[in-house]
Amino acid sequence: MTRIPTIETKEQVPPEGRAAYDLIVKSRGGVRGPFTVLLHSPEFAARASELGAYVRFESKFPTREKEVVILAAAREVDCRFEWAAHVEMARKAGVREEAIAAIRDRRAPKGLTAEEALLVAYVQQLLRVHRVDEPTFRAMQERFGLELLVELTGAIGYYALLACALNAFDVTPEPGAELLPV
């Protein structure tokens, strides 16, 4: 049960905010998860949705690697909803079960390939100590180039933003979802 009422229908949004609701539905097929609470501020929800639509559906960053990053971010901030929402997407994108388990169980970098370990290290450094060390940064820049590194860093920030809302308002995963142990 969330700490605040969720918004799930257009009628729950004040008339002046219904365009935000429509925008979210258009990009995602419905309103769920973080947007059920973010819609209490329709303008904020719309802007977050636009960034999220780019990160999720239009970014040039490879999907498999992006899902590793999302899972690592969800683990770093212990966001159960985010984990549950993305663990199956990660599997469908080809993320190895060993990598999922290593991230979930906080064993990373044990159990990760060199590329997975680099991605997870970047996320961990950014979200744990709020800086990325020079060797990790240079390795990421060499591997992905500046454009994709900017997109990846933005994706980490976007998922941290969603996790803040999901955790603060106690938005829980759907029943039967794969839970993240915290």
Q: What is the CATH number of the domain that holds 133?
A: 1.20.1290.10
What whole-number distance in Å separates Cα of residue 170 and Cα of residue 76?
17
pLDDT, tens digit (0-9, with 9 covering 90-100), for 38-53: 999 999 999 999 999 9
Which H helix or E strand runs over 7?
A: none
Structural domain of 160: 63-168
pLDDT in tens, 84-101: 999 999 999 999 999 999
Mark whether 54 and 92 lie in a shared domain: no
DSSP, residue by residue, 33-97: TTHHHHTTSHHHHHHHHHHHHIIIII-SS-HHHHHHHHHHHHHHTT-HHHHHHHHHHHHHTT--H
Residues 24 and 92 in one domain: no
Closest CA to 56 of 90, 20, 94, 103: 90
- How far is the C-alpha of 123 from the C-alpha of 69, rounded, in Å? 7
Residue 114 lies in a domain: yes
User: Does the residue 22 lie in any domain?
Assistant: yes
Domain count of the fold of the chain: 2
Write down the pLDDT at residue 146: 97
Residues 36 and 101 in one domain: no
Q: Give the mean model confidence (pLDDT) for residues 101-108.
A: 97
Q: Over range 12-24, report the average pLDDT.
A: 96
Domain boundary among 58, 78, 98: 58
Across residues 18-23, what is the average pLDDT?
Answer: 97
**Is there a domain that residue 24 lies in?**
yes
User: Is pLDDT at 1 greater than 80 in this prediction?
Assistant: no
Q: Residue 139 domain-assigned?
A: yes
**pLDDT (tens digit per residue) in 55-84:** 999 999 999 999 999 999 999 999 999 999
For residues 103 and 88, what is the distance between their CA atoms, to the nearest angstrom? Answer: 14
Band (pLDDT 50/70/90 cuts) for residue 182 is: confident
What value does the mean pLDDT of the chain take?
96
Residue 5 within any structural domain of the chain: no
